[in-house]
Amino acid sequence: DGGITQSPKYLFRKEGQNVTLSCEQNLNHDAMYWYRQDPGQGLRLIYYSQIVNDFQKGDIAEGYSVSREKKESFPLTVTSAQKNPTAFYLCASRPILAGVYNEQFFGPGTRLTVL
Amino acid sequence: QQQVKQSPQSLIVQKGGISIINCAYENTAFDYFPWYQQFPGKGPALLIAIRPDVSEKKEGRFTISFNKSAKQFSLHIMDSQPGDSATYFCAVRRGTDKLIFGTGTRLQVFP
């Protein structure tokens, strides 16, 4: 899990409520990512950020929002607009160094269940 | 459009056997090909990765075979052990772009 912390490990929310998932890294990595994983499916990219105060939509950004106010933090908010929010959410980070193949590290994940 | 196709979806291997997982990609601009291992309830961890200038990379019991002309790469696990039971993901990336993942292969190794 490297130096990436995701909290909490399990999260339960009622339908219609917004919920924010935490992701913190102490690796001094430039880029951070949020993925969603559903049973039998690969990792689908929700949002990513390569620099503070800037982020881009991934493949499934609808119903999610993020912020990147600090280099070490990249919280994800699952809004009530997300139709099927129950899933395993993974945060990742990596350095961005020109000319180098930079390994991407993953956090331990947060399992969100919407009741 | 699926940019990387992974097969099989699941794999059952006897202890001591060879596990082989395959991935195929379309874009010849990809230049980084990692494999990730994920245990239940955990985040994926990088297992082994290869660049397109070599055809094979071996680390212990794990080997990546890379066929640039066929746009395919595979993971071979020699002497498979029950502790190797996990889900394996291939991925591709171009330069500093984001990783694109395959759909995963669930490997079960029985004693």
The per-residue pLDDT for A111 is 96
Q: What is the pLDDT of residue B54?
A: 92
pLDDT for residue A99? 62
Q: Which residues of B2-36 are buried (b: 16+ CB within 10 A; e: fewer)?
A: eebebeeeebebeeeeebbbbbbbeeeebebbbbb
Mean residue pLDDT of chain A comes to 92
What average pLDDT does range B53-77 have in this prediction? 96
d(CA A32, CA A24): 10
Task: Please write the tens of the pLDDT for every residue from B31-51.
Answer: 899 999 999 999 999 999 999
pLDDT of A32-82, one tens digit each?
999 999 987 789 999 999 999 999 999 999 999 999 999 999 999 999 888
Q: How confident is the model at residue B1 (pLDDT cuts 50, 70, 90)?
A: low
Contacts of B102 in chain A (CB under 8 A): 42
Give per-residue pLDDT as tens, B74-91: 999 999 999 999 999 999
Whether residue A108 and residue B43 make contact (CB cut-off 8 A), yes or no, is yes
CB contact under 8 A, B32 and A108: no
* Token output for A32: 């951070």
pLDDT for position A96: 82
Q: How far is A17 from chain B (nearest CA, A)?
A: 24
Task: Compute, in degrees rounded to 10, the torsion defined by CA atoms A74, A75, A80, A84.
Answer: 70
Contacts of A102 in chain B (CB under 8 A): 96
Using the predicted structure, report yes or no on whether residue B96 has a pLDDT greater than 80: no
Q: Chain B: residue nearest A107 by CA? A: B43
Q: Residue A47: beta bridge partners?
A: A34, A57
